[in-house]
Amino acid sequence: MDEACRSSSPKIPRCIRTQGDGYREPYGVTLIICPFNGPLVLSLRPAVAALSAGNPCILKLSEALPANDELLLELIAKYFDPEAFSAVVGGREVVTKLLSFPFDFLFLTGSVGVGKVVMRAAAEHLTPVLLELGGQNPAIVDETANIPDAAKKTVWGAMAWGGQWCTSPGYAVVHESIAEQFVAECRKAVGALYGADPKSNPDYSRVVSLAAVKRLASLIDPKKVVYGGKSDAPARYLDPTILYPIPWSDKIMEDEIFGPLLPILTYSDLGKLLAKIKSLPKPLASYVFSRNQEAIDRVLQSLSFGGGAVNQTNVFLFIESMPYGGVGTSGIGSYYGKYGFDSLTHAKSVLISPPDVAIDHLFPPYTKEKVQALNQWFDY
């Protein structure tokens, strides 16, 4: 508690206090719409944020993951009071029905398109939202970078989890003076990480569905493939694939890729590159590889993005003490740790006064003596 009144004037009370951070008040019943690509972490971590903040919550699990759904439905029902925490499974019809209800808070991890649907539904009830969306995330590699290191980390970031992570590098844009060397190091990195036969490597993830494989395969220009490029839709498999050189106008650059494809572009002038990236929708993540602190500072200060890293990819996701969230089309709000608690609660400011204390100068008649006493208090 902080003392609000410090004047020695007898006309001004000394004992009214304020609650410094307000009372943290839960919003209420929270709907959490979960994606397929993080079947545990992107369902339970938002649930932890909601429950720790005092909000009962309902998980809408992805229908694309029947085994995962069966397990979560069983465990949640076993260990939680259904009035505090429950889960449902379903597709578009279930989501549409759920969004028709007047929830107190909506939490979505998903695509920009679904984010717009949730925002429209939230507007009907003026419901607050937290949206974790996505976008085409750049990895900028300048001429001073440790090229083998940058290549390996960018390849891992783009291929890990089958590229199905909202913070995966969507493309690498490399200074033209080192582009050929970077491409060669990326080819080496794929072999070092996943071997000569990634399809048989248990460390290389499958794509979520046959339809997703077909969509990703349609983005590949065979003339630009410098590594990989093959797919097996029934097996939900797509090679870790590197494409170079790619122009900004290529169809693979039109939207978030969400698969193990790494297009590589080049640039010659950092200022023009930053202007180009700033003309695009704001990404959820951005990465820069450089030894030049001036260039690093310029990138970080020029670009708007949810979060990211210098000389790393994706690793910032693992740090619970840092806020995680998007900006613009990549999301609204943030969570993780206390940031999740704060996002899922309302800071209710409260002024505390004993029942026998009045601030007389607020009440008429308004005399010169009252004005002088008030001025004395504020001048203290």
Tell me which DSSP letter residue 241 carries: E
Q: How many CB atoms lie within 10 A of CB 54?
A: 15
Name residue 86's beta-bridge partners: 58
Domain that holds residue 156: 137-323
Identify the pLDDT of residue 356: 87
Q: Catalytic one among 34, 57, 132, 186? A: 132
Same structural domain for residues 146 and 271?
yes
Identify the pLDDT of residue 10: 42
Could you give the strand order of the β-sheet that contains 307-310, starting from the edge strand earlier in sequence? 225-227, 241-243, 261-267, 169-175, 137-141, 285-289, 307-310
Same structural domain for residues 224 and 291?
yes
Same structural domain for residues 301 and 334?
no
Helix or strand holding residue 193 (H, E): helix 179-194
Q: Which of 125, 150, 155 is nearest to 140 (CA)?
A: 150
Could you tell me how far CA 365 lies from the centroid of its own chain?
55
Confidence class of residue 362 from pLDDT cuts 50, 70 and 90? confident
Does the pLDDT of residue 259 top 50, yes or no?
yes
Task: Quick: pLDDT tens for 33-91.
Answer: 999 998 899 999 999 999 999 999 999 999 999 999 999 999 999 999 999 999 999 99
Identify the pLDDT of residue 366: 86
- Percent of all residues in the chain with a pLDDT value above 70, rounded to a whole number: 93
Same structural domain for residues 257 and 275?
yes
The sign of the CA dihedral 299, 301, 302, 306 is positive
Could you tell me how far CA 22 lies from the centroid of its own chain?
27
Q: What is the CATH number of the domain that holds 75?
A: 3.40.605.10
How do strand 331-332 and strand 231-232 relate by DSSP bridges?
unpaired
* Average pLDDT of the segment spanning 152-172: 97
* Average pLDDT of the segment spanning 313-319: 95
Identify the pLDDT of residue 371: 81
Q: Which residue has the tokens 């979060």?
A: 307
Same structural domain for residues 164 and 92?
no
Contact (CB, 8 A) for 137 and 286: yes
Contact (CB, 8 A) for 51 and 127: no
Same structural domain for residues 354 and 309?
no
Identify the pLDDT of residue 286: 98
Identify the pLDDT of residue 12: 38
Identify the pLDDT of residue 1: 36
Q: What is the CATH number of the domain that holds 177?
A: 3.40.309.10
Same structural domain for residues 372 and 278?
no
Does the pLDDT of residue 9 top 90, yes or no?
no
Identify the pLDDT of residue 2: 42
Task: Quick: pLDDT tens for 294-309.
Answer: 999 999 999 999 999 9
Locate 133 and state its tokens: 């969306």
> Rounded mean pLDDT of the chain?
93
Confidence class of residue 14 from pLDDT cuts 50, 70 and 90? very low
Same structural domain for residues 335 and 363?
no
| Residue 132 annotated to the active site | yes
Does the pLDDT of residue 7 top 90, yes or no?
no
Same structural domain for residues 141 and 95?
no
Same structural domain for residues 120 and 154?
no
Does the pLDDT of residue 380 top 90, yes or no?
no
| Residue 166 annotated to the active site | yes
Same structural domain for residues 145 and 289?
yes
Same structural domain for residues 188 and 261?
yes
Task: Quick: pLDDT tens for 216-252.
Answer: 999 999 999 999 999 999 999 999 999 999 999 999 9
Identify the pLDDT of residue 378: 66
Task: Quick: pLDDT tens for 264-295.
Answer: 999 999 999 999 999 999 999 999 999 999 99
Locate 219 and state its tokens: 């983005």
Report the C-alpha gap between 154 and 310 in whole angstroms: 12
Locate 319 and state its tokens: 């740090």
Q: Catalytic one among 34, 166, 185, 186? A: 166
pTM of the entire predicted model? 0.91
Report the C-alpha gap between 93 and 206 in whole angstroms: 27
Does the pLDDT of residue 262 top 80, yes or no?
yes
Task: Quick: pLDDT tens for 182-221.
Answer: 999 999 999 999 999 999 999 999 999 999 999 999 999 9
Q: Which residue has the tokens 């700033």?
A: 278
Q: What is the dihedral of CA 371, 374, 379, 380, to 10 degrees?
A: 150
Number of domains in the chain: 3
